[in-house]
Structure 1
Amino acid sequence: MSAITHHIPDSMIAAYASGNLPQPFAMVVASHISVCTECRAALGAHQTVGGALIEQSDEIAISADMKNNMMALLDEPVTPKPVYDAKGVYPGPVMQALKGKPPRWKSLGMGVKQSILAQEGSGSVRLLYIPAGQAVPDHSHNGLELTLVLQGSFSDETGRFARGDVEIGDTDLEHTPIADAGDPCICLAATDAPLRFNALIPRLLQPLFRI
């Protein structure tokens, strides 16, 4: 894999380490960290600091009833969920969302396909398959979008993004991502609000495609 040049911001890694990152974005961060030694080291540093802060914090007394309830919960049998490893271009967190199965692709037209992994409220996380030379319609953002490249690469107004790279789009970014020559570009994309397409047809199809 080529060197990763576009990383997760440190503030977002800190939010992920503390469990305060929304699930769609957490999946992208976890997937990036699984292939990026630099961000994995940053996560370890935040976890170490967090552990030290917990050890230095004052003890808080709890009632006997709360303690008994907590101990009772620990005694309840737990059925562990299956754990899925990385497979092909898909990191472990993506395979976990897919439950170990291949993506179920649905056509968006012009060879572009998507597989929605999770959608809750206005937020979602999905896989995108973009053939070489094909573009995603020009759009801006109503919120935040994280896009992690799993295969191939794409380019837009801000630069080129290859496997392992993450592009962060906010309300200030308007772009037209185009898959580069070579392998089809497969991306993991998470949003917390619908995109803003500039052309009429993508806007009309947007409710159908849930993007």
Structure 2
Amino acid sequence: MTMIQDTIKHHLTDALLMAYSAGTLPEAFSLAVAAHISMCDECRARLGAFDTVGGTLMENCDAAVMSADSLDATLAMIDLAEARPAERDVPLGGGVLPAPVRAYVGGDLDSVRWRPVGMGVKQAILPTKGDATARLLYIPAGAAVPDHGHKGTELTLVIRGAFEDKVDHFGPGDIEVANEDLDHTPIADIGEDCICLAATDAPLRFNSWLPRIAQPFLRI
């Protein structure tokens, strides 16, 4: 783990960490954030700072008149907090998958139920609530994910191996935050198969016709 900590160079944005701290992220995004935090001391420390600030603000807030739907809103926030993956009761011991991801898979890498998506690439969609989705991706060494853009935001965390695109090179623990402005073709490094966790809040925008035809069936 120390070696991974020393090589992580792509981190979470302050906006994502603050939203995670406040419990306002979709579950799929919360999972990606929690998985990165479990691998990254720097982002874990930054999250702790945001949690502290949030707690202080709550303590110093003046009393306010409650609206008629305040109870329902509070219960919804409790549901979000309970779904916060970093706080699930999961073992923190060794394994390929980060502990928050193992809680969704029901084990480590040998428990993942992969489904082929073409060109040797495989995926496993994880059971998250809401419109955003989370999936594990297996990209064979040297293989490429089809060229695509984004209709929303995509968080891609490298768990094992590495990939490169027009932005940079991403290794274990790195997380890429992509939005509507980015079109790219991630390519796994030659030396090792790449395993990633990807969370999206909108379908990808593929630039060739074959992936577009398969897209509804693959739920990408």
Q: Same fold (TM over 0.5)?
A: yes
Distance (Å, rounded) in 2 between the aligned partners of 1:165 and 1:89: 15
| Partner of residue 74, structure 1 | none
| Partner of residue 179, structure 1 | 188
Contact kept? 2:27, 2:128, Cα under 8 Å: no
Percent sequence identity over aligned pairs: 54
Q: Which has the larger radius of gyration?
A: 1
| Partner of residue 42, structure 1 | 46
Gaps of 5+ in 1: 63-81
| Partner of residue 152, structure 1 | 161
- Of residues 36-45 and 102-111 in structure 1, the stretch that sits farther from structure 2 once superposed is 102-111
Q: What is the CA distance between 1:100 and its match in structure 2?
A: 2.7
SS of the equivalent of 2:7 reads coil
| Partner of residue 76, structure 2 | none
- Of residues 131-140 and 108-117 in structure 1, the stretch that sits farther from structure 2 once superposed is 108-117
- Could you state the TM-score of these two structures normalised by the residue count of structure 2? 0.83
Q: What is the CA distance between 1:22 and its match in structure 2?
A: 1.1
Counterpart of 2:125, as a letter, is: I
For the aligned residue pairs, the C-alpha RMSD in angstroms reads 2.3
The 5-angstrom pairing of residues 10-29 of structure 1 reads 10-29=14-33
Q: What is the CA distance between 1:60 and its match in structure 2?
A: 5.5
Partner of residue 113 from structure 1, selected from 97, 122, 125: 122
Q: What is the CA distance between 1:58 and its match in structure 2?
A: 2.4
| Partner of residue 132, structure 2 | 123
SS of the equivalent of 1:88 reads coil
- Of residues 16-25 and 118-127 in structure 1, the stretch that sits farther from structure 2 once superposed is 118-127
Contact kept? 1:84, 1:100, Cα under 8 Å: no
Runs of 4 or more above 6 Å deviation: none
Distance (Å, rounded) in 2 between the aligned partners of 1:99 and 1:118: 11
The 5-angstrom pairing of residues 1-211 of structure 1 reads 1=4, 2-59=6-63, 83-86=89-92, 87-100=94-107, 102-118=111-127, 120=129, 122-211=131-220
Over 3 Å counting, the alpha-carbon distance change for 1:207 and 1:11 in structure 2 is same
Contact kept? 1:146, 1:190, Cα under 8 Å: yes
| Partner of residue 85, structure 2 | none
Q: What is the CA distance between 1:182 and its match in structure 2?
A: 1.7
Contact kept? 1:84, 1:99, Cα under 8 Å: no
Distance (Å, rounded) in 2 between the aligned partners of 1:121 and 1:11: 20
Gaps of 5+ in 2: 67-87
Point out the structure with the larger strand share. 1
Distance (Å, rounded) in 1 between the aligned partners of 2:170 and 2:52: 31
